[in-house]
Amino acid sequence: MKASHFFLCLLSMSSWLNLMPTAGTKIFHIGACSISMSVSEIRSGFTAIKANIQARDPIRTLSILSRPHSLHKVKSSERCCVTHQLFNFYVDKVFKHCKTEDSYVNRKISSIANSFLSVKRKLGQCHEQNKCTCGQESTEKLQQVLVNYEGLNVTSAAIKSLGELDILLDWLEKSP
């Protein structure tokens, strides 16, 4: 009897711990959607490879995320949709084409991509529950990012987008 009580207590404790955010994890309220994400973990991985990735970027005069009005002044009602679309963009386009000959850099990219995939899934659930409103503004914002991206060859565009990851992270952390 005591053993089963102990295991029930242990199971309850482990379930509770799984629900608690890990160190560095923050709850972001993006529109009507709330997601947990460790921006500090993503930023740490990115910082470790940022100089390497940006040195691979042959085009310094063009930006994908910070072109005029790409991420600026997004209405709070459409912020969830823009965030969802940007995470889809990074998972579906950017990370697939960011491979280097440096295994350390590739491992960091993979770790960041896994974090993005997790957030993408959470945002997808919000989107399916109609918590992410997509209007004309969010469509135009993503279209601007895609035009900037598709203006380059696939590898250059992916490297440039990864090199601009701090722009996206800063934008997320400045969420109202």
Average pLDDT over residues 80-102: 92
CATH number, domain of 67, equals: 1.20.1250.10
In a domain, 13, yes or no: no
In a domain, 74, yes or no: yes
Instruction: Answer whether residue 16 shows pLDDT above 60.
Output: no
In angstroms, the first-to-last Cα distance of the chain is 51
Predicted local distance difference test score (pLDDT) of residue 150: 92
In a domain, 167, yes or no: yes
In a domain, 8, yes or no: no
DSSP assignment of 44-72 equals HHHHHHHHHHHHT----S--SSSSTTSST
Counting Cα atoms < 13 Å in the Cβ hemisphere of 9 gives 6
**Backbone torsions φ then ψ of 34, nearest 5 degrees:** -120, 125
The domain tally of the chain equals 1
Instruction: Answer whether residue 157 shows pLDDT above 50.
Output: yes
Q: Is the pTM of this model over 0.75?
A: yes
How many beta carbons lie within 10 A of that of residue 76, not counting itself? 12
CA distance readout (Å), 25 to 19, 42, 63, 88: 12, 10, 29, 21
Instruction: Answer whether residue 10 shows pLDDT above 80.
Output: no
Least confident of 62-76, 138-152, 158-172: 62-76
Domain of residue 33 covers 23-173
Question: What's the token pair of residue 139?
Answer: 């469509």
In a domain, 9, yes or no: no
Question: What's the token pair of residue 27?
Answer: 């709850």
Average pLDDT over residues 62-75: 75
